[in-house]
Structure 1
C-alpha cells in the first residue's frame, strides 16, 4: 500500500479515536461544570481562532457573493444546530447511545441526497434505510414509553438523531464549497458563521459557568474537546480527503461506537443492554446494506 494512503488511514483512525473519547470527555465536563450551549460557544470560539491562525499565510480564493448563503447554511447545520443538539442530547443520554445513533448518519446522507440531489435509491439501499431507522427508533423509544419525550434519556437520543440529520445536511451543503475553495478556508468560514449563530444562545451559560469549581482534569477535558475533537479532527479529515475518497472517510464513523463503548465499559461509566446491542445491530446492518453491500459483491 502506498505510504500516502497508509498515512490517510492512520489519520482517519486517529479521528475515530478522538471522537470515541470525545463522548466521555464532553459528558464529564457537562456534569455540573459547563452547560451544553456554553460548551458549544467555547468550542466555536477556540476552533475559530485556531482555524484563522492556521489559514493565515496559506492560499485563499476570493469568496463569491453567490456562495455566502451556502457558507451561512453550512455554519448553521455543521456547527450551530449540529453541535447544540449533540451536546444537549449527550447531557441527557449515555455515550454508548449517542455513538450508536451517530452511525445512522451515512443513511441520512443517502436519503437527503436522494431528496435534494435527486440521486437514485436501489432496493437494497431502501431496505438498509428501513433497518437503520428501525434501530434508531428502537433505541430512542427507551423502555417502552408511549411518548418519547416522557423519558429524559429518550429525549437525549432524539436530540442526537437531530444532530446526525443536521450533520448530513451539512455534508450536502458544504460539498460544492470543498470543490471550489481550499478546505481550510471553507472550514474557517463555516466556523465563523457557526460562532455568530451560537453566540446569543451560549453566552449566558459560558459567562455563568462555575469556573471556581473547575479542576485541572476538567480544564484538560474541555481543552481536549476544543483542540482535538474540533481542530485536529477537522484537519486530519481534510488531510485524508486529499488521498482517499469521501466514502472511505465516512466509513470510519463506524469505529466511533466501538471506541466509545470500550472506553465507557473500561471506566465503568456505562453498561450495554440487550436493547442497545440489538439497536446497534440493526443500524450497522442497515448502514452496510445501504452503503457497502453492492460494492463488496462486485469486488
Structure 2
C-alpha cells in the first residue's frame, strides 16, 4: 500500500475513534467515574502497555539531553495537560461544544510549526485550513440541539486542551524523525502518568466498580485501548511521514465522524446540507495534504 494512503488511513481511523469518544466518555463521567479518575485509568494503562512493549520488543533508547527534555515536554503537553483539560472540560460542557472548540488545533499547529519548526505557511495550506474550518463550524452549528448547552469554564478548558495538543504535535515531530513511534509514545505516557496520578487518585478510589453495568466497562475499555493506545500510536507514527499541519487538519473530521455515528444509532439525520459541509472538510484536508506532497517533490 502506498505510504501516503497508509498515512491518510491512519489519520482517518484516529478521527473516527476520537469522534466517537465525545459521546462515549459522557456516558461514563461523572456518574460512574470522575474525569480525573478516568484519565488515570487510561494513562497508567497505556503507560504500562507501551512501556512493556517498548522494553521487550523495540529496546530503543532516547539519547541526548535535548531529546530527553523534548520528550518530557511532549509528556506534559500531549498527555498530562491535554488529557486533564479535555476530560475536565468535557465533563462540564456539551460534546458538541467540545467538538467545535477542538477545531482550533490546526490553527495552533500552524502557528507553532512556523515558530518552532520554521515550516513555511503557504497560501494553499492556509486556504485548506480555512475551508475545513468553515465546513466544521457550519456542520456543528447546524447540528446543535436544544439541550446542547455549554459551560464557560468547560469551554475554556477545551481551548487549553486544544492549544496543548497542537503544541504537542509540533514538539513531537522532530523526535519521530529519529526514533520509532512506540519508543516515543512509551516515554511520553510514562511522563504523563507520573503527572496525572496526584489529580486522579481520589476519583479512582471513589466508585463502586462492582455496580458498573457491562456497557460502562466496555466504554472504559474502548477509551483505554482505542482512544488512548491505538489513536496515539497511529497519530505519532503518521507524524514520521506527514507534517504536523496535516495531522492537525484531520481534527476537522472528528465532528463528521461524531455525526455519522449519531446517524447510525438513530440520534441524528444525515441531510444533503450536512453532506456538503462534510465535503468542505475533506476538501480542506486534501489541500493541506497536497502542500506536503508538493514540498516533497520540490525538495527532491
If the TM-score is normalised by the length of the shorter chain, which range does it land in? Answer: 0.7 to 0.9
**Change beyond 3 A, Cα 1:290–1:250:** same
Distance 1:291 1:10 in 2: 15
- Preserved contact between residue 72 and residue 191 of structure 2 (Cα < 8 Å): yes
Number of the residue aligned with 2:242: 245
- TM (norm. structure 2) is 0.76
**Change beyond 3 A, Cα 1:28–1:70:** same
Deviation (angstroms), 1:284: 5.8
**Change beyond 3 A, Cα 1:194–1:296:** closer
State the Cα deviation string for residues 53-95 of structure 1 (Å, max 9, x = none): 2213314034323333222211110001101111111112222
Distance 2:238 2:125 in 1: 26
Number of the residue aligned with 1:147: none
Distance 2:156 2:110 in 1: 20
Number of the residue aligned with 1:227: 225
The more displaced of 28-37 and 8-17 is 8-17
Distance 1:155 1:28 in 2: 20
3-state SS of 2:207 partner: coil
Number of the residue aligned with 1:48: 47
3-state SS of 2:63 partner: coil
3-state SS of 2:33 partner: coil
Deviation (angstroms), 1:31: 3.8
Which segments of 5 or more consecutive residues in structure 1 lack a partner in the other structure?
Answer: 144-150
Superposed, 1:115-130 pairs within 5 Å as: 115-119=115-119, 121=121
Deviation (angstroms), 1:106: 1.0
- Preserved contact between residue 185 and residue 236 of structure 2 (Cα < 8 Å): no
Number of the residue aligned with 2:33: 34
Superposed, 1:1-299 pairs within 5 Å as: 2-57=1-56, 58-119=58-119, 121=121, 153-241=151-239, 244-246=241-243, 247-267=245-265, 291=288
Deviation (angstroms), 1:160: 1.2
Matched pairs, number? 278
- Preserved contact between residue 96 and residue 270 of structure 1 (Cα < 8 Å): no
- Preserved contact between residue 246 and residue 285 of structure 2 (Cα < 8 Å): no
- Preserved contact between residue 46 and residue 228 of structure 2 (Cα < 8 Å): yes
**Change beyond 3 A, Cα 1:270–1:178:** same
- Preserved contact between residue 95 and residue 260 of structure 1 (Cα < 8 Å): no
State the Cα deviation string for residues 261-285 of structure 1 (Å, max 9, x = none): 232355466899xxxx9xx99x969
- Preserved contact between residue 109 and residue 168 of structure 1 (Cα < 8 Å): yes
Deviation (angstroms), 1:21: 1.2
RMSD between superposed Cα atoms in Å: 3.7
**Change beyond 3 A, Cα 1:241–1:75:** closer
- Preserved contact between residue 125 and residue 289 of structure 1 (Cα < 8 Å): no
Deviation (angstroms), 1:190: 0.4
State the Cα deviation string for residues 212-249 of structure 1 (Å, max 9, x = none): 4311110110110001111111223345455x423544
Distance 2:30 2:51 in 1: 31
Which segments of 5 or more consecutive residues in structure 2 lack a partner in the other structure?
Answer: 296-300
